[in-house]
Amino acid sequence: MSDDKILSDAEITALLAGLNPDVSSGDDQTEREINEDEHDFDALKKAAEEGDAGAQLRLGVCYSQGENVKQDSEQAVYWYEKAALQGDAGAQCLLAMRYDGGDGVERDALKAFYWYEKSALQGDDTAQGILGVYYERGEDVLQDYQKAAYWYEKAAAQENPRSQLNLGVLYEQGNGVNQDYSKAAVWYEKAALQDESIAQLYLGLLYENGNGVAKDHEQAGYWFKKASEDHPI
């Protein structure tokens, strides 16, 4: 989904941000969160081998991150797929990322999309946001701004800040939705309050120009300052 069609783990957040390819990864963060309450490795592996989907997912994370075991991307993919086939939405999203980036498995855009969609349909906000980027950019699928807006809105409703930002951009530009600066401001503000620096910048510009909000140079300055503090150049 990047310009060269090969994603590293370090590009996942950039995909979600859409307009900011220099932001760091969200994949590792997802895995670290799952890994916070890691069970004893041997017991975890036994549970995974016995078919527990949650254990399979956590075991995949262990192999991905090298927690309590030697790091092994292929084993991570193996266990993600086991859990994904049992319908675990988180595993489906992480497996999609592996196919997307060709990490531990040969890159396969069709399989990546398949698993993102499976995960998104189960409500995973990360997968929903990535599908939005697929459709907005028209990479590996036909460009469809309405579908992009649909998936961004699904993820944004779950407080996904990058999807809130991207949905705001669609409203500001009138892509896939009726142009509406007021709605753009609403979504920018939601993302800005979660320290999404690009949203803070865009919200500041709306206040500076009086688009969708009352012109307010003080508010504009506030958000410009926040953007520079949260994402210094």
Q: Is the pLDDT of residue 15 over 80?
A: no
Structural domain spans, the chain: 1-122, 144-233
The widest CA-to-CA distance across the chain, in whole angstroms, is 61
Q: Round to whole Å and give the CA distance between 59 and 119.
A: 19
Q: What pLDDT, on the 0 to 100 scale, is given for residue 13? A: 40
Q: What is the pLDDT of residue 82?
A: 98
Mean pLDDT computed over 77-84? 97
pLDDT in tens, 97-142: 999 999 999 999 999 999 999 999 999 999 999 999 999 999 889 9
pLDDT at 25: 36
Same fold yes or no, 1-122 and 144-233 = yes
Q: What is the CATH number of domain 144-233?
A: 1.25.40.10
Among 7-21, 27-41, 142-156, 210-224, which stretch is predicted with the lowest mean pLDDT? Answer: 7-21
Pick the CATH number of 1-122 from 3.40.50.1860, 3.40.1190.20, 1.25.40.10, 1.10.3720.10: 1.25.40.10
Q: Band of the pLDDT at 11, cuts 50, 70, 90?
A: very low
Average pLDDT in the chain: 86
pLDDT at 26 over 70: no
**pLDDT at residue 213 greater than cutoff 50:** yes
Q: Which residue has the higher pLDDT, 12 or 71?
A: 71
pLDDT band at 28 (very low <50, low <70, confident <90, very high): low
